[in-house]
Each structure stands twice: as C-alpha cells, then as structure tokens.
A and B are shown apart, each in its own frame.
Chain A
C-alpha cells in the first residue's frame, strides 16, 4: 500500500536569541518515517526531547531547516500552505485554552472554513453540523460558548476543529493527559472510530503507555532531538532497544505488576 505521509530528512534548529543566546540551541536531527492510511503512530520521549516541535513541523506551524514532507507522494511546500493546513490538522495540548471564549463553537468552526475553503454559507453550516455529529456532539452545540462545554465536550470540540476541513492526517499533542478515565476512553474510542471510517492517519504524543500500547500501530522515540528507536508497537514493548525506552517501559510494567 502506498504511504499517506512520507517524511524524509526533516530537521530543525532552534535560534535562541536574547539574553541566554549562548545557552543550548535546540536541534532536531534529520528524521524520516512513513505513515499509511488508517495507521496510528505514537511519539514518545522525555520532556524537552522535541516531541511538540516535531508535531509543529508536521502541521506546518514551524518551518523545517531541511527535509521534505510528502502527502500521497506529493510534496507539501510553502506555496501550497493552504492545502497543507487543511490536509494535516493539529489538536493542541490544552484544548480548553485553544477555544476562543468570545466566539460560539460554530463561529469558530466556520472561521476555519472561511479561511481555507470557498464554501458558501449554507455549505459551511452543513459541514459544521455534520462534523459535530461525527464527533458525537449535537448540531445545537454550534451555538454554545466555551464556558458552556464540559471537559469532555471540549476535547470533542477540539477534534471537531481538527476534522472540519476533512483532513487526511491528524496530529495531537498529549490529547489524553488532562482527561479523566471515562472521557479519556470516550476520546480514544472516537478517534479509533473515525480512523476506521475515514482512513485518517493519526500521530499523537503521549506519556500514557497504556493508551499508547492500546491504540498505536507504531512508535517513534525521541531523545534530545534524535530518533533513538522506532518500530511496531508490540515489538518495542517486548524488545525495547534504547536505554530510555527500556527504562520507561520497565517503569510502566513495574506499575502494572506492583498492584
């Protein structure tokens, strides 16, 4: 099967200007991977290892120093910014802060459509309602403001924002960290469901190894800006190679067996 997303030689260098300019510049060493349709990849690594940075490079919030990102074999370069933004969408770390308090949910979803598509007002309304239903909310929720939504609905709204432009890949930064167990399962189920229905590629960052093991097909492990390990989830859980991965998985097993 052809790959959906092909990343090769992607690298980044962080320019730290100002007072501490002489302290460590962050560097993401060239990395490559492929993602197939309907596949899920988890990114693991220490805090500060460059996970969120990689996510931002993938969705185009930051520009890489070198390397290429191909979607369905076609390059995604600067001149096609618009296509890139709609094909690869991000769910940010704190979904609560990422919604504008002064706009209704529908207003916010519509903004993305106005900026990125040529849809008419009726088409936009239909798209908004369809998307809300897809993520398990009601069409009425388009009239809700941020403070009227519960934590779980915030997470769904964040997924709706990512889905509204019919993307092919979703990138999520710690989508489960702040959630309680039942909303966490609901969100995980929602994403797995959408993947099956729409063939979405899903890349997420997480420290929750239980969820990583359950929903990911492959894992990429970053350490200080370098990929130290990548492969099938079951292989990595059973035969971790790098020191960091071994330590983390061992700690997780310890927690499970320590019960």
Chain B
C-alpha cells in the first residue's frame, strides 16, 4: 500500500469568470522510501497539488477525489486536528519562495527550535534541554551547509540572503524527522555545488532513514540524478507517470518528450548555440482551457480525436494519457 495515495483529485477554484478546474483528475502516489519528482510547466498546478495535500487551500474551493489517503486514512474525511497532527509530525513541507514562507516576526532560532519534536529532547533538566535544543538546531544547519550558524540563528528571515533562507527552510523541514518531505522547488536559483550538497543530503536520508520525498522542480538534471519515479503534469492534468528510467528512455506522451528534449544537458550531441527544441506557444490560462486534451493546441501530434479527453492507460507500471502516444506510429 502506498504511503500517500491520490486518485483523481480535482480542484475547482472560483475566478471572476466562474468555476474552473485547476486540477483535473490528478493521480499520484508515493511509497515508503520513494523519491518522486513532480514536473510540469509553470502554472501547471504543481503548487496547488502540494497545497491540497497539506490542506492549505481556501475553504470555498471545491476539492474532490476518489481517494486521498495517508497510510490508508482518508485525508479529506478527517478532522482539522487530525490533519494538522499529520502535517506536524509526519509530513514536512518546504513551500516555494522560502524567505516569504518564514515567519517575519521571529528569529530563525525561535522558529527552528519550536519545530523540534519533544521526543528528540532526551535530557532531563530544562537548562540542559535548552542547550540540547540549540545543539540540535546547529547540527541541522550544518547538515544543509550553513556554516555560520550563529549569524543565521540570530537573524530574521528578511536579513538573510535568499539562498541561506532556502537552506534554512530545508533544515527546519527535516528537524521533525518526517516520513515524507514535500519540497516545492527547493533548489531554484541555487549554485550547483550547494544544490548537489542538498540532493546528496536528501538521498542519504532516503537511503538511511527511509525518508520519502515529493520533489517538485523544473530542474530535470537534479530530478534525473535523485528521483526514482516521476509524474508529469500539464495544465492540471497528469499526462505521464513512471520510473525515471522508463520515462527518460522512452517517453510516451508528446509533452514529456518535449520537456526532456528542451534540456541541453541531456543531449550531448547538441552543437553549441544550436536552437533548443521546445513546443510553440505557452500554457493556456485557466480561463481559456481547451476542451479534451489540454495540450491539443500546442501538440505536434494532435488530431481531431484529441478534443475528447484521453483515458489513462497503463503498461508495465508506466502510465500515460494520450490518444496518439509516441510508441504508436504517427497518425
């Protein structure tokens, strides 16, 4: 049984032009010790999935799902308290835009110490605990590569550069020793060496402590290096999902192929300065969603049938939703 199991999650939000489905029958699952990447264009709904999982969406929006289970328990059916207990003890989230997600009115020391769960404090007397809290905080900061822990802990978020805030958010998310870490674009704009350090840390926690990770990112290189499985989202619909090897070696959905082809580092045969391949146009706005397959207007393989939503098909644990997938001949 997967730890997190989402089947046909639909999220409708109200806009001035009426209700639109920002997420349309999204399916996603994460097993124990699995690192799953969630990729997709800007505006495809990745952050909305993250927010739906942790229940951080406005009350008036409509969330429905055939299944949305955490360890077999229905997340949508449980009380707010139960849900908060899970997001406090078992699931940690790093939101996009790290510095803005931190509390501006408290020092980073207060914030990280507050996140330390009580079972990590083994010492008896309160002054010993005080010291132990600080020790744990410092140790976590060192792990994510923050060397100057004193400066960091005594500062407020706005006083520090964005890259330190990013690393700090990762440290804070790990301090409660979660079962699942959801990281929304945690390495965006990071230097390569720092990024590799963070990826290694997550991989190590995954190997040694069985940490599961939902890694939301645009960085295909980082994803390919770290994740086991990958789910591709386009315009609020899951278009393809499978193991990294499967998806990379043999993408079945035209969007996935376009996505993989666009990364110059994946293509060693590419002459310098040659045009990079990409789909024409941009992702439509929620107010102007095409009917049927939402990739339709930009898809090189689109046919008349594509105005009907393609069903999701499965082959060998690899799933895709397309009428004319790449392993069939061009229509």
* Residues of chain A whose beta carbon lies under 8 Å from any beta carbon of chain B: 46-48, 150-153, 174, 177-186, 188-189, 192-193, 207, 209-211, 213-215, 233-234, 247-248, 251-252, 254-256, 258-259
Interchain CB contact under 8 A, A259 and B225:
yes
Interchain CB contact under 8 A, B161 and A47:
yes
Interchain CB contact under 8 A, B188 and A248:
no
Interchain CB contact under 8 A, A47 and B163:
yes
21 pairs from A and B in contact (CB 8 Å cutoff) = A47-B191, A151-B42, A180-B218, A181-B278, A182-B41, A183-B42, A184-B262, A186-B278, A207-B192, A209-B265, A213-B265, A213-B272, A214-B276, A215-B272, A233-B272, A251-B192, A251-B196, A252-B192, A254-B225, A255-B199, A256-B221
Once bound together, how far apart are the Cα atoms of A258 and B244, in whole Å? 12
Which chain A residue shows the least CB distance to B284?
A150
| Max count, chain B CB within 10 A of own CB: residue among A174, A177, A184, A213 | A184
Interchain CB contact under 8 A, B273 and A181:
no
- Neighbouring A residues of B221 by C-beta, 8 Å: 210, 255-256, 259
Interchain CB contact under 8 A, A185 and B262:
yes
Interchain CB contact under 8 A, A248 and B192:
yes
Once bound together, how far apart are the Cα atoms of A182 and B283, in whole Å? 10
Q: Mark B175-195, 1 if CB is under 8 A from A, else 0.
A: 000000000000011111101
Give which listed residue, B225, B276, B283, contacts A150 with CB less than 8 A: B283
Shortest Cβ-Cβ A-B pairs, 9 listed = A210-B265, A185-B276, A185-B278, A258-B225, A214-B264, A251-B196, A185-B262, A259-B224, A177-B189
- The yes or no answer to B285 lying at the interface (CB within 8 A) is yes
Once bound together, how far apart are the Cα atoms of A182 and B282, in whole Å? 9
Interchain CB contact under 8 A, A251 and B195:
yes
Give which listed residue, A177, A183, A192, A252, contacts B275 with CB less than 8 A: A192
Once bound together, how far apart are the Cα atoms of A150 and B196, in whole Å? 31
Interchain CB contact under 8 A, A150 and B285:
yes
Give which listed residue, A177, A213, A247, contacts B193 with CB less than 8 A: A247
Once bound together, how far apart are the Cα atoms of A177 and B189, in whole Å? 5
- The yes or no answer to B57 lying at the interface (CB within 8 A) is no
Once bound together, how far apart are the Cα atoms of A233 and B191, in whole Å? 18
Interchain CB contact under 8 A, B282 and A153:
yes
Which chain A residue shows the least CB distance to B283?
A150
Which chain B residue shows the least CB distance to A184?
B262
- Neighbouring A residues of B189 by C-beta, 8 Å: 174, 177-178, 207
- The yes or no answer to B309 lying at the interface (CB within 8 A) is no
Give which listed residue, B264, B277, B279, contacts A211 with CB less than 8 A: B264
Interchain CB contact under 8 A, A254 and B264:
no
| Number of CB contacts from chain A to chain B under 8 A | 113
- Neighbouring B residues of A255 by C-beta, 8 Å: 192, 195-196, 199, 221-222, 224-225, 265
Q: Mark B260-282, 1 if CB is under 8 A from A, else 0.
A: 00111100001011011111001
- Neighbouring A residues of B282 by C-beta, 8 Å: 150-153, 183
Give which listed residue, A48, A185, A188, contacts B161 with CB less than 8 A: A48
- Neighbouring B residues of A183 by C-beta, 8 Å: 41-42, 278, 282
A178 and B188 in contact, given A210-B265, A213-B264 (Cβ under 8 angstroms): yes
CB distance from B196 to the nearest CB of A (A): 4
Interchain CB contact under 8 A, A251 and B193:
yes
- The yes or no answer to B134 lying at the interface (CB within 8 A) is no
- The yes or no answer to B310 lying at the interface (CB within 8 A) is no
- The yes or no answer to B248 lying at the interface (CB within 8 A) is yes
- Neighbouring A residues of B220 by C-beta, 8 Å: 181
4 more A-B contacts (CB under 8 A) besides A210-B221, A252-B192?
A180-B40, A193-B275, A210-B265, A234-B272
- The yes or no answer to B258 lying at the interface (CB within 8 A) is yes
CB distance from A149 to the nearest CB of B (A): 9
CB distance from B42 to the nearest CB of A (A): 4
Interchain CB contact under 8 A, B262 and A151:
no
Once bound together, how far apart are the Cα atoms of A151 and B189, in whole Å? 16
Interchain CB contact under 8 A, A181 and B190:
no
Interchain CB contact under 8 A, B188 and A177:
yes
Which B residues, 149 to 167, have Cβ-Cβ distances below 8 Å to chain A? Answer: 161, 163
- Neighbouring A residues of B277 by C-beta, 8 Å: 185
- Neighbouring B residues of A184 by C-beta, 8 Å: 218, 262
- The yes or no answer to B43 lying at the interface (CB within 8 A) is yes
Interchain CB contact under 8 A, B188 and A46:
no
Interchain CB contact under 8 A, B278 and A215:
no
Interchain CB contact under 8 A, A189 and B225:
no
Once bound together, how far apart are the Cα atoms of A211 and B283, in whole Å? 22
- The yes or no answer to B20 lying at the interface (CB within 8 A) is no
- Neighbouring B residues of A214 by C-beta, 8 Å: 264, 270, 272-273, 276
Give which listed residue, A179, A234, A254, A256, contacts B218 with CB less than 8 A: A179
Interchain CB contact under 8 A, A181 and B275:
no
Once bound together, how far apart are the Cα atoms of A251 and B220, in whole Å? 15
- The yes or no answer to B63 lying at the interface (CB within 8 A) is no
Once bound together, how far apart are the Cα atoms of A248 and B220, in whole Å? 18
